[in-house]
Amino acid sequence: MPGPIENQIREAIVRRHQKGETLRSISEELQLSYETVKHLWQHWLKTGHIEPSYERAKIRGTRLYSEVYEQVVQLKREHPRWGAALIQVELQRNGFKPLPSVRTIQRWFREAGVNRSGNVRQQRVKTIQRGQQVHEIWAVDAKEAMRLRDGSWASWLVITDEASGAVLTEHVFPPEELDEN
């Protein structure tokens, strides 16, 4: 986002345009985009002052999607387990256009206080703790047919203790054909 235009420049734009200069020539001379100069002039015509108006920025909620906003909040209240992406699909099915982004819908949930409550959240499965005592559980890991830097092949077998993490034994050997018997 570009920086704000200083009030001295704003005054110069209004003064020069009132004297008859075109907005295009003013924009070229001040090295501002034509759209910026045009918007500053229109702001002066509408409000009678050159200072920017920040009143619209103070308004919370939505300006573009007011009808959709109510529908989104209502759907979330009716279906607390539905996420923003699913509600966006529902809005599309119901013919709402333009559609807000998923992030916008999530922000609306937060602002309206309709986020998932603690009792609706799914409980995380606790990690299973195995091998609390040394030599209670051993982990066996095998890597087969690994190509080495010299072009040869090797397989590797490692046995570790889960509680201590100690390597109990390891064995590296060339891959072998299995007997069919």
Q: What is the CATH number of the domain that holds 97?
A: 1.10.10
**pLDDT(93) > 70:** yes
Which pLDDT band, with edges at 50, 70 and 90, does 102 fall under? Answer: very high
Residue 28 counted as domain residue: yes
Segments forming the whole domain that contains residue 152 = 138-173
- Asked, for residue 1, whether it belongs to a domain, the answer is no
The answer to whether the peptide bond before residue 98 is cis (omega within 30 degrees of 0) is yes
Q: Are 39 and 71 in a shared domain?
A: no
Measured between its terminal Cα atoms, the distance across the chain in Å is 74
Number of folded domains in the chain? 3
Contact 27, 34 (CB under 8 A): yes
Q: Dihedral of CA 65/67/68/72: which sign?
A: positive
**39 and 74 inside one domain:** no
Q: Which of 47-51, 56-60, 107-111 shows the lowest mean pLDDT across its residues? A: 56-60
Q: How far is CA 135 from CA 8, 45, 56, 138, 162, in A?
A: 80, 84, 68, 6, 8
pLDDT digits (tens, 9 = 90+) for 105-142: 998 898 888 886 555 455 555 666 777 888 888 989 98
What integer pLDDT is reported at residue 132 of this predicted model?
Answer: 82
Query: For the whole model, what pTM was predicted?
Result: 0.39
Asked whether residue 73 falls in the same domain as residue 39, the answer is: no
Same domain, 75 and 100: yes
Would you say residue 124 lies in a domain?
Answer: no
We report the CATH number of the domain holding residue 53 as 1.10.10.10
Task: Verify that 37 and 72 share a domain, yes or no.
Answer: no
Locate the DSSP E strands across the chain: 138-147, 153-161, 167-173
List the structure tokens of 66: 């007011």
Same domain, 53 and 72: no
d(CA 120, CA 115): 10
Same domain membership, residue 29 and residue 48: yes
- Taking 80 as the threshold, does the pLDDT of residue 49 lie above it? yes
Q: Determine the number of helices (DSSP H) and then strands (DSSP E) in the chain.
A: 7, 3
